[in-house]
Chains A and B, each alone.
Chain A
Amino acid sequence: DTGVSQNPRHKITKRGQNVTFRCDPISEHNRLYWYRQTLGQGPEFLTYFQNEAQLEKSRLLSDRFSAERPKGSFSTLEIQRTEQGDSAMYLCASSLNEKPQETQYFGPGTRLLVL
């Protein structure tokens, strides 16, 4: 499968615990995005990388959230001291930086439940 992959697919954690999610983009894609989706809503942009550089972060990304893409390939999203409000689907997408035909391809997501 050459699509975007995400691990784990599901995560249940207790409030206050730290969690880390991983995203492996399509291999030749230089851009990687993180979105959060809650029930009944569209995905909300969190942050994106071009290669290893984090180019934009949403105000939604509080200081408890950190994302990395150290070698410009896979990315991790860490949430520290989780809160019940963090429960959501975390989606990763990747694309080639080819303006204006930049299509983002989404992974299956990691569904987080904070108890």
Chain B
Amino acid sequence: GQQVMQIPQYQHVQEGEDFTTYCNSSTTLSNIQWYKQRPGGHPVFLIQLVKSGEVKKQKRLTFQFGEAKKNSSLHITATQTTDVGTYFCAGHAGGTSYGKLTFGQGTILTVHP
């Protein structure tokens, strides 16, 4: 079945440093979504990418969807302590499994002040 892998599993940065997490799917995705989960919280939707090669920005966050629609990345510029949490990518395979999201295992971001 479809697998979604994320690297790195953990990332520790000093406040002000940049952060990037990478997501790779074993199959072509119809779209990819990114979620943030704070410690003790639930996943909160950040963004969805649909088009091949798409790039979207939200303030200090930049999201990219690969040309082959099998990989994606999230880049945070100048991290802040409020960025702490686990970042998940999740893919829709499309077709008959359109409703099902397959999540990566997440990247845990720690920001040291």
Give the interface of A toward B (CB within 8 A).
31, 33, 35, 40-45, 48, 50, 55-56, 58, 91, 95, 97, 99-109
Contact = CB atoms under 8 A, between A and B. Distances in A.
B104 interface: yes
Contact of B42 (A33, A48, A106): A106
Given A40-B105, A42-B88, A42-B105, A91 B42 contact: yes
A83 B75 CA distance: 40
Interface of B: 4, 6, 30-31, 33, 35, 41-45, 48, 50, 88, 90, 92, 96-106
26 contacts: A35-B103, A40-B105, A42-B4, A42-B88, A42-B90, A42-B103, A42-B104, A42-B105, A43-B43, A43-B88, A43-B90, A43-B101, A56-B99, A58-B100, A91-B42, A91-B43, A95-B99, A97-B99, A100-B50, A102-B98, A102-B99, A103-B33, A104-B45, A106-B44, A107-B42, A108-B41
B98 A99 contact: yes
Contacts, number: 67
A43 B103 contact: yes
Contact of A106 (B30, B43, B92): B43
Contact of A48 (B6, B88, B99, B102): B99
A58 to B, nearest CB: 8
The 4 closest A-B pairs by CB, nearest first: A42-B103, A106-B42, A48-B99, A106-B43
